[in-house]
Amino acid sequence: MMDDKFESIWDALENSPAEAANMKARAELMIAIQAQITTWGLTQAQAAKRLGLTQPRLNDLIHGRITKFSLDALMNVATHAGLSIEWRVTPHAA
């Protein structure tokens, strides 16, 4: 048994640091969008319409089906949800 330690689950699951970073960003966006939708108190159909999505597509987002969404798509949904997105880019610690 190996005792590898990872910064996040994505570092352990993905094949490269780039893929892990992409999945981390998608996960964070999905969580933020889900939280925003919850504050609206709308049905899925109403929230989907507000976001410019179909209800089944919103259902995928709400249930965390991360592989069904690109980073681009989630950025667009987040913007429609009224969220501001700020990225911080830093050198990777050696």
HSE-CB for 18 with a 13 A CA cutoff:
0
Whether 13 shows a pLDDT value over 80: the answer reads: no
Residue 89: inside a domain, yes or no? no
Q: Are 50 and 80 in contact (CB under 8 A)?
A: yes
Domain containing 40: what range? 10-80
Domain contains 31: yes
Going from the C-alpha of 53 to that of each of 38, 60, 63, the distances in angstroms are 16, 11, 15
Structural domain includes residue 24: yes
pTM of the shown model: 0.81
Task: Flag whether 25 is in a domain.
Answer: yes
pLDDT category of residue 17 using cuts at 50, 70 and 90:
confident
Residue 90 falls within a domain, yes or no?
no
Q: Residue 79: enclosing H or E segment and its boundaries?
A: helix 71-80
With a CB cutoff of 8 Å and minimum separation 6, the contacts of 8 are: 20, 24
User: Is the per-residue pLDDT at 55 higher than 50?
Assistant: yes
**Number of domains into which the chain is organized:** 1
